[in-house]
Amino acid sequence: DNTLPQLTEPQLDKLKHLTLVSLASESKMLAYDDVKKELGFNNDQQVENLVIESTYKKLIAAKLDQKRRVVEINHVIGRDVRREDLEDIYSKLELWAETCDEALGDISTEIDIANNNASAKKTLDFEFTKAQQAIHTEYSTEGISGSLARNDSQFISNEYQREEQRTGGS
């Protein structure tokens, strides 16, 4: 057709690779003759070179069987999404979204637990500090001998208690 622009060599190569990908998507076993006919190749060497290039570009994973003159396709990249695949893709995406929602819910629960634990720890730390300050204030105003009078002697070392008894608490 004279209305279409002339394709450059890289554009032609890309079209050949994409054509091979399309053929490989339709069948896991490609006859050399079918590939040659589809791409307008003259010999088997052109088929083999295209398969090798496509393998290096990771467009396909394939084996060449020169004896049987076939290309065995193990894997092919997706080129286009087929209409019949849309429902399956949608179902998988829906399931994935539900799984993500569940994971987010679990993460939110864990964050709430961690925040509650942090808040409880902060409250306990505050109460502990308050109690420490109260004890410190009490001891600094009464002195150690005042605390012994309240029968807190179990917290004082034996040596200190003997010293208190020997000196009479002064």
**pTM listed for this prediction:** 0.47
The two three-digit tokens of residue 59, written as one number: 């467009």
* pLDDT tens-digit readout, 122-142: 999 999 999 988 888 887 766
Q: How confident is the model at residue 169 (pLDDT cuts 50, 70, 90)?
A: low
The SS3 assignment for 81 reads coil
CA distances from 15 to 8, 45, 56, 72 (A): 11, 18, 16, 21
What's the rounded Cα separation, in Å, for the pair 78 and 59? 9
